[in-house]
């Protein structure tokens, strides 16, 4: 995964029953249904070389809920999670079959047909926080301002406003507002993970993908992050991976359990 991050940052910072549209993420529109569908996954299989990491998955998700993907290590959870913003495309030996249609700004969009040039926009709208904090080199402020500048061409006062807003959303502003020029690496593990979350939120996504966001944290910090996730559900649709049955029970509105790449 670090290889994927190195490829994406900073070089790419700038850069059931699904509908099968063939146009761009901007121009294609299918009115959102009354059921508030977030995603329709149809006959999805994901292969690394000839090995199926995800095998014929069908799934329907709703907006503004927390959907948790569960299963043993190697069951395909993270691979399925990465499919929602096509991060698996960064692996040369990976290929995908099937369909994912996502609700993007009230429009149902088939992400399979997006071109490589459209993927940065998709990944801004479907933001991801990884299992371990992936900090950019530099200061706390750099970790927010650099993506805003490179990805969105946002600078100056607007960038500062987004910085403050996202740090508040991540419940980190009060802890770092007096030391924004301190090295990001000087933060605690929990603070680093919240900084990564703030960095994702600063790009104003609609969907959050969380890959075991508390895996490396102590119980007290885990509880803080869980409360934050519950608060974020008011404004975002969340798909997350968890190994913890207890955490899943505390957070999930819906659950999918994978075994050897299949839903069971």
Residue 90 · residue 7 · CB < 8 Å: yes
What is the pLDDT, as a whole number, of residue 190?
92
**pLDDT value of position 35:** 53
Please give the pLDDT value at position 1: 44
User: What does the DSSP assignment read for 1-19?
Assistant: -HHHHHHHTTTTT------
For domain 37-263, the CATH superfamily is: P-loop containing nucleotide triphosphate hydrolases (3.40.50.300)
pTM confidence score: 0.84
Q: Are 210 and 237 in contact (CB under 8 A)?
A: no
| Res 228: pLDDT | 94
What's the rounded Cα separation, in Å, for the pair 92 and 124?
Answer: 22
- What's the pLDDT score for residue 17? 37
Looking at residue 12, what is its pLDDT? 37
Helix and strand element counts for the chain (H, E): 9, 10
**Which stretches of the chain drop beneath a pLDDT of 50?**
1-34
């Amino acid at each position: 995964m670090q290889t994927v991050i190195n490829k994406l940052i900073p070089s790419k910072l700038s850069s059931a029953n699904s509908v099968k549209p063939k146009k761009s993420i901007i121009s294609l529109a299918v009115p959102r249904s009354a059921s508030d569908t977030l995603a329709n996954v149809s006959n999805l299989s994901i292969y690394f070389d000839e090995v199926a990491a995800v095998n014929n998955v069908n799934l329907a998700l709703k907006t503004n809920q927390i959907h948790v993907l569960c299963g043993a290590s190697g069951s395909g959870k993270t691979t399925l999670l990465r499919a929602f913003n096509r991060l698996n495309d960064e692996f040369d030996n990976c290929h995908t079959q099937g369909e994912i249609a996502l609700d993007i700004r009230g429009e149902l969009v088939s992400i399979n047909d997006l071109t490589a040039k459209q993927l940065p926009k998709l990944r801004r709208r479907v933001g991801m926080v990884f299992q371990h904090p992936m900090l950019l080199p530099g200061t706390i402020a750099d970790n927010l301002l650099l993506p805003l500048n490179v990805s969105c061409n946002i600078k100056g006062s607007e960038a500062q406003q987004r910085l403050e807003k996202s740090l508040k959303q991540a419940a980190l502003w009060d802890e770092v507002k007096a030391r924004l020029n301190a090295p990001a690496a000087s933060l605690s593990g929990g603070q680093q993970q919240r900084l990564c979350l703030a960095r994702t939120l600063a790009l104003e996504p609609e969907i959050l993908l969380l890959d075991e966001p508390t895996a490396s944290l102590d119980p007290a910090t885990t509880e803080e992050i869980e409360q934050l996730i519950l608060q974020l559900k008011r404004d975002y649709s969340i798909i997350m991976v968890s190994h913890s049955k207890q955490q899943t029970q505390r957070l999930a509105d819906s659950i999918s359990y994978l075994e050897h790449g299949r839903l069971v």
